Chain A
């Protein structure tokens, strides 16, 4: 009944579902920190697709790409959280619909 190894389509389906959850989180929530967590979810969904294809192709290049994505994600989180902290100092809020300095 069950396959001997994990099919590629299963991993890709899980990746797609997690990515969609991340998209919904970005669109639905208004807390900037939770939006950042949703972005992390999307990045991890992409990583999962990379790893699944690396397994499928019997090649390590996909895993190297995941390594780089993790590095960039760490840098992105650090910069983004610094911006959020700075914005909180200025506006006393982290809700993205109350941060409308650029609205004309």
Chain B
């Protein structure tokens, strides 16, 4: 039963992925990406990674895709205008590179490749997948787990600093020289904003007023 389901999910995954890169409308691409992520979650379930399957649906199909759709609709991108010879050439080049990569992968599979013996299943009944991952995450991988929190914090602060715009929070200088694109005020303003979170969090309001 599991291989049949796997083939079904794999076909859905591949078809959705192809539609992601082929469809003209970014919104449709994003929705096909949701479908691809959900079928990948099904494959995770079949591979006995239940926790990852759930996280895949929540984080990828939920949070990340909402972010994508929000940005697409915020920027009001209805369609992807295509055309021109250079673009056609580059597109052909891209497909050629893809075919080459696929050929390399298939050659590797065809060359009597084997993965070594599979490990025997454990004798004692394993605890739940989530419980086992939690035990491992808070013992052996505790330090990477803590580093992950720093990564998320840096990303959060960085996103706020980037998205508030170039001159966010700085009052408009009336006589700014045109020849210097990056003014000293910009460079002097940036480091304290990255160092302290509360001013950066308060910044978007000021940028709205300034612009």
Contact status A51-B29, CB under 8 Å: no
Q: Are A9 and B102 in contact (CB under 8 A)?
A: no
Q: How many residues of B contact A (CB 8 A)?
A: 80
List of A residues within 8 angstroms of B14 by Cβ: 14, 17-18, 21
Closest to A18 in B: B17
Determine the chain B residues whose CB is within 8 A of the CB of A90 once the complex forms. Answer: 166
Interface size range of chain A in the complex: 35 or more
A59 touches B77 (CB 8 A): no
User: Is B13 a contact partner of A18 (Cβ separation < 8 A)?
Assistant: yes
CB distance from A20 to the nearest CB of B (A): 5
**Count, A-B residue pairs, CB within 8 A:** 219
A29 to B40, CA, bound (A): 23
- Identify the A interface with B (CB < 8 A): 2-3, 5-14, 16-25, 27-31, 33-34, 36-38, 40-41, 44, 47-48, 51-52, 54-61, 63-64, 66-68, 70-79, 81-86, 88-90, 94-95, 97
Chain B residues near A (Cβ < 8 Å): 2-4, 6-7, 10, 13-14, 17-18, 20-21, 26, 29-30, 33, 36-37, 40, 43-44, 46-49, 51-52, 55-56, 59-60, 63-64, 67-68, 71-72, 74-75, 77, 80-81, 87, 90-91, 93-95, 97-98, 101-102, 105, 109, 113, 115, 118-122, 129, 132-133, 136-137, 141, 144, 148, 151-152, 154-156, 158-159, 162-163, 165-166
Closest 9 CB pairs of A and B: A27-B94, A25-B21, A75-B155, A24-B98, A58-B119, A28-B94, A16-B105, A82-B163, A82-B162
